[in-house]
């Protein structure tokens, strides 16, 4: 928490909606996920960015798996069309 002299030096002291810490509004970051259209402290803003990046990576990985599954099914179907029997031997 900001001490009294830090608080007095702030142009626009603002409480963070996430953690309650007092920060200078000009030093805050826009919240996109937790509190849309609200400025939160830099520490919480950085945590939110990390969470958003993690969510995006999860979605990308899920899409990659879905694409790979489709590719495998399509390749197996084409092999059957070409008369090649599927190898059941584990890799």
Q: Is 23 exposed, middle or buried (0-12, 13-18, 19+ CB in 10 A)?
A: buried
| pLDDT tens readout for residues 31-90 | 999 999 999 999 999 999 999 999 999 999 999 999 999 999 999 999 999 999 877 655
Residue 89: Cβ within 10 Å count: 5
Whether 28 shows a pLDDT value over 60: the answer reads yes
Write down the domain spans for the chain: 4-81
């Amino acid at each position: 928490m900001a001490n009294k002299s830090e608080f007095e030096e702030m142009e626009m002291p603002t409480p963070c909606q996430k953690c309650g810490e007092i920060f200078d509004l000009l030093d805050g970051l826009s919240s996109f996920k937790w509190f849309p259209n609200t400025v939160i402290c830099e520490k919480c803003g950085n945590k939110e960015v990390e969470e958003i990046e993690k969510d995006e990576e999860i979605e990308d990985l899920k899409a990659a798996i879905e694409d790979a599954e489709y590719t495998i099914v399509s390749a197996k179907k084409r092999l059957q069309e070409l008369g090649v029997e599927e190898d059941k031997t584990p890799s």
